[in-house]
Amino acid sequence: MASEGFELIQLKSGHTSLRLVSNRETFHPVIGPEAEARRLHVEQQRLTSRSRTVSPFVIWDVGLGAAANAVAALEALAESPGTVELHSFDHTLAPLRFACDHSEYLMYIRPYRQAIEKLMRTGQVTIGRVVWYLHEADFRQSLEKPDLPSPHAIFYDPYSAASNPEMWTLEHFEKIRRALRDDHPCLLTNYTRSTAIRSTWLLAGFYVGIGVGIGEKDQTTIASNQLELLEQPLTVDWLKQVAASQNSNPLRESGTLYCPMSPTDFAQLRQHPQFT
Ligand SMILES: C[S@@+](CC[C@H](N)C(=O)[O-])C[C@H]1O[C@@H](n2cnc3c(N)ncnc32)[C@H](O)[C@@H]1O
C-alpha cells in the first residue's frame, strides 16, 4: 500500500512501519515503531526521571516523520509533575499525513490522531503536561531561530548519512553543540553505531557513549554535553578501532566520505577531554 512516496511495510517482528519508497529506508526497521522509540529514546534518555528535576524540560524531536518517537515521549510524560516542551522538526508533513491516513494499521497513532491534526493545523497542541510544537522547516534553518529553547533531550532521527548526508556533517553537529547550554544537561540518542559518526560527534565537541542495542543491532550511540550523563562512554581503547578503520573520517560538508581519518583529525580526537 503506497501513496505520497510512502508505503506500509510488515517487519519481521510482525509490527507495521513506514518506508520511504525513494530511498527504501524503513522507519524503525528492527523492532517496530513503538518498541524502538521507547527503548532507544524514552528509556535510554531516562526521560521520566530527568524531567522531574527541571521545568520546562525541553525535547527536540529531530525528524518528526510519522511521530512514533514523539508519541512515545507523550505517553511517558503526559503525567509529568513539571511542564515539558516537545519541539518536533521536519521539513515535510507527508509521512505524518500518511500515518494518520493509515492509523488503522499504526496502533500508536490512533489515540493521538486528533491532537496530531490540530498540531498540523495550528503548529501547537497541549497534551497533559506536554506542550507540543511543530517546526515545519529544514532543521538546519530551525536551529538558527534565536528563540528556540536549548534542549535537555534530543531524539536524532533523520534518514541515514548515505541518503541524508546534510544532517550528518561535522559543521552541522558543531552548530547543534553550540545550541546546547552548559546548565542544561542534554542527551542525544540515535540508531547509529558508525565509527565515522561517533568521530564526527566527538570532534563537534560532544561526549560520546555506547548506546543500547535494539533488536539485532548490538549497540547504538548516545552523546551528551556532560560526560557524567553517559553510562558507557567510549574509552581510549576505542581509538584503536578508529586508527584501524578504513571508514572513520568525520563527515564534512566538502569532504570525502568513507575513508580513513587524517592524522590531523586523529591528533585532535586524541586530545578530546573524554580521552585525556
Ligand atoms: C526516519 S524518518 C523519522 C521517523 C520518525 N522519527 C518517527 O518516529 O516516525 C526521517 C525524517 O527526517 C526528516 N528529515 C530529513 N532531513 C531533514 C531536514 N533537513 N530537516 C528536517 N527534517 C528532515 C524526513 O523528512 C523524515 O520525516
Q: What is the structure's pLDDT at 14?
A: 83
Three-class DSSP category at 276: coil
List residues near ligand 1 (CB under 6 A): 27, 37, 63, 65-69, 89-92, 95, 138-140, 157-159, 164, 167
Q: Cβ contacts of residue 166 below 8 Å, gap of 6+?
A: 140, 172, 253
Ligand 1 mean position to 159 CA, how many Å? 6
Each residue's pLDDT expressed in tens, for the chain with a length of 276 residues: 444 599 998 888 888 888 988 888 888 877 888 999 999 999 999 999 999 999 999 999 999 999 999 999 999 998 889 999 999 999 999 999 999 999 999 999 999 999 999 999 999 999 999 999 999 999 999 999 999 999 999 999 999 998 899 999 999 999 999 999 999 999 999 999 999 999 999 999 999 999 999 988 899 999 999 999 999 999 999 999 999 999 999 999 987 667 999 999 999 999 999 999
DSSP classification of residue 194: -
Going from the Cα of 90 to the center of ligand 1, the distance in angstroms, rounded, reads: 6
State residue 79's pLDDT score: 87
* Residue closest by Cα to atom 11 of ligand 1: 63
Residue 266 Cα to ligand 1 midpoint, Å, equals 31
* Pairs from 23-31 (Cβ < 8 Å, separation ≥ 24): 23/159, 23/163, 25/159, 25/160, 25/163, 27/65, 27/66, 27/68, 27/95, 28/68, 30/214, 30/215, 30/216, 30/217, 31/214, 31/215
Q: Is the peptide bond before 56 cis (omega within 30 degrees of 0)?
A: yes
Among 167, 188, 191, residue to substitute to test ligand 1 (most atoms within 8 Å of Cβ): 167
Query: What is the atom index within ligand 1 of the atom nearest the CA of 68?
Result: 8
Residue 179 and residue 204 in contact, taking contact as beta carbons nearer than 8 Å: no
Question: Please, is 246 exposed, middle or buried when counting C-beta atoms within 10 Å of its C-beta (0-12, 13-18, 19+)?
Answer: exposed
Is 31-235 a CATH 3.40.50.150 domain? yes
Q: Which atom of ligand 1 is nearest to the CA of 138?
A: 20
Nearest CA residue ID for atom 3, ligand 1: 65
User: Looking at ligand 1, which residue's alpha carbon is closest to its atom 24?
Assistant: 63
For residues 69 and 155, is the Cβ–Cβ distance under 8 A? yes
| Residue with CA nearest ligand 1 atom 8 | 68
Residue 82 and residue 57 in contact, taking contact as beta carbons nearer than 8 Å: yes
**Cα-to-chain-centroid distance, residue 78:** 20
Q: Can you tell me the distance from the alpha carbon of 118 to that of 212, in angstroms, rounded to the nearest whole number?
A: 34
Domain ranges of the chain: 31-235
Which residue CA neighbors atom 22 of ligand 1 most closely?
Answer: 90
134: part of which helix (H) or strand (E)? strand 130-136
- Pairing verdict, β 207-211 and 220-224: antiparallel
Q: Which three cell numbers stand for residue 46?
A: 531516562
Tell me the three cell numbers of residue 71. 508519541
C-alpha cell belonging to residue 259: 575513508
Question: What is the residue with the minimal CA distance to atom 5 of ligand 1?
Answer: 65
